[in-house]
Amino acid sequence: MWVLLGLLILIVIFLVIESVINNRQLKKIPIRIYVNGTRGKSSVTRLIAASLRAGGVRTIAKTTGSSPRFILPDGTENLIRRLGQPSISEQVKIIRWTRDYQIDALVIECMALQPYTQWISEHKMVRSTIGVCTNVRADHLDVMGPTVDDVEKALAGTVPDGGIFVTAERSQNKVLQQACKDNKTEFHAVSEAEVEAVTPQELAGFSYFEHAENIALAVKVAGLLNIDRETAIKGMQTATPDIGALRLSELSFHGRRVIWVNALAANDPDSYRIIWASVSARYSDVAKRIVVVNCRQDRPDRSRQLGELAPEMKGVDTFLLIGTGTEIFARAATKAGIEVNKLYTMVGERTERIFERIIALSGSSSVVLGAGNIKGDGLLLDEFIKNRTFSHG
């Protein structure tokens, strides 16, 4: 018993010392921006950091994303290597690393999912001066749900005390506003007009497919730090995209023009609604529209949600199903009204055979959207296609 008590005392002492060291380092970083939300956290973290760098603010950024990165003040990146499962204690380690650099700002992506760990990561670890929420959508409902209202409540845990809070979420933000009021924090929401102000020319300046909402959100944050819009956007256009960012690749194969849109890292129906609307408008002249759905047996909710969304994806000629658990998507899609002859299943096929089927379905030209999951067959297909592309946009 005395041994256990002694160990407990040592643990408490260690935690107190860790907290003191962390708080001391935080005081040396005047601008601390904590990026949370359902989708787009990694992209927005990169965009904000790039805009700050362009404005002369010496900045370090940390993303979780598809591949966690520590981004230095000159924009170079270091891969964060983990031993074991990801833990929010990583945020404390990142803050400790910043002591080797004399920085003005830290932009850090939230990696917590459980509501209580989201609150701890903000109020006990990062203690941000500016909190950011990209959006509130129906994702990770098994952890933050079961409803979107519950997701918003969880995300409200990272509203800072006595600081500033900025969000691009316009329809689901009442709880966020109340949390700001309770915490004596300024609330700023990106308006529809601010999103529409992002021009096609500005979007074309990115080397990958970036959402206007993400750009408008980063511009809003930059403006609060007295960085003008032109400087901010020019900085953003130089940012290295996250590995999971939406990318467009074009290839020509035996006279067929195929545009591949890698949206495999998007997880929720709302994101796919926005992506499909944008892609359809941008490539309205193609002969065929194909959606490749990479399913996972261990992600049944995602397959079901995408199946239910299928009828809303207007103009799709074929849903090509790969991966595992494809019957979940097929059952949900047909129940929602998709004709069976629009579904083509290729379970257990080699990547080459899947690619050949896409070409066969493409007619003279096609836009092919990769959806569902980035891992497994989806990643293999993306790598296969990228090795055959001649341009990116």
Q: The domain spanning residue 349 has which CATH number?
A: 3.90.190.20
Instruction: Clarify whether residues 288 and 364 are in a common domain.
Output: yes
CB atoms within 10 A of CB 201: 7
**Chain mean position to CA 171:** 19
Instruction: Clarify whether residues 166 and 32 are in a common domain.
Output: yes
Residue 35 in domain: yes
pLDDT at 200 over 80: yes
Instruction: Tell me which of 165 and 239 has the higher pLDDT.
Output: 165
Instruction: Determine the Cα–Cα distance for residues 301 and 162; give it in Å rounded to an integer.
Output: 38
Residue 204 in domain: yes
Q: What is the mean pLDDT of the chain?
A: 89
pLDDT at 3 over 70: no
pLDDT at 32 over 80: yes
Banded model confidence at residue 392, pLDDT cuts 50, 70, 90: very low
Highest mean pLDDT among 40-44, 260-264, 288-292: 288-292
Its domain, for residue 155, covers 25-237
Instruction: Clarify whether residues 225 and 273 are in a common domain.
Output: no
pLDDT at 128 over 80: yes
Residue 6 in domain: no
Instruction: Clarify whether residues 229 and 270 are in a common domain.
Output: no
pLDDT at 89: 82
Q: Answer with the one of 237, 256, 289 that is the final residue of a domain.
A: 237
Residue 8 in domain: no
159 contact partners, CB below 8 Å, separation of at least 6: 122, 131, 165, 176, 179, 180, 183, 185
Residue 294 in domain: yes
Banded model confidence at residue 14, pLDDT cuts 50, 70, 90: low
Instruction: Clarify whether residues 72 and 161 are in a common domain.
Output: yes
Residue 11 in domain: no
Instruction: Clarify whether residues 257 and 216 are in a common domain.
Output: no
**DSSP secondary-structure letter at 100?**
G
pLDDT at 264: 87
Mean pLDDT of the 85-93 span? 83
CB atoms within 10 A of CB 31: 17
Residue 341 in domain: yes
**Chain mean position to CA 339:** 32
Q: What CATH number should be reported for the domain holding residue 117?
A: 3.40.1190.10
Instruction: Determine the Cα–Cα distance for residues 91 and 155; give it in Å rounded to an integer.
Output: 17
Q: Answer with the one of 217, 237, 257 that is the final residue of a domain.
A: 237
Residue 148 in domain: yes
- Report the domain count for the chain: 2
Question: For residue range 283-334, what is the model confidence (pLDDT) as tens digits?
Answer: 889 999 999 999 999 888 889 999 999 999 999 999 999 999 999 999 999 9
Instruction: Clarify whether residues 181 and 49 are in a common domain.
Output: yes
Instruction: Clarify whether residues 219 and 293 are in a common domain.
Output: no
pLDDT at 208: 82
Is 318 exposed, middle or buried, given 0-12, 13-18 or 19+ CB atoms closer than 10 A?
Answer: buried
Instruction: Clarify whether residues 216 and 251 are in a common domain.
Output: no
Q: Answer with the one of 214, 237, 260 that is the final residue of a domain.
A: 237
pLDDT at 139 over 80: no
Instruction: Determine the Cα–Cα distance for residues 119 and 125; give it in Å rounded to an integer.
Output: 9
Instruction: Clarify whether residues 84 and 144 are in a common domain.
Output: yes
pLDDT at 24 over 60: yes
Instruction: Determine the Cα–Cα distance for residues 8 and 2; give it in Å rounded to an integer.
Output: 10
pLDDT at 63: 94
Mean pLDDT of the 260-284 span? 85
Mean pLDDT of the 336-348 span? 94
Instruction: Clarify whether residues 215 and 346 are in a common domain.
Output: no
pLDDT at 391: 44
Least confident piece of the model among 93-97, 252-256, 293-297, 377-381: 252-256
CB 246 within 8 A of CB 261: yes
Instruction: Clarify whether residues 217 and 253 are in a common domain.
Output: no
Pairing, β 77-79 against β 69-71: antiparallel
pLDDT at 13: 66
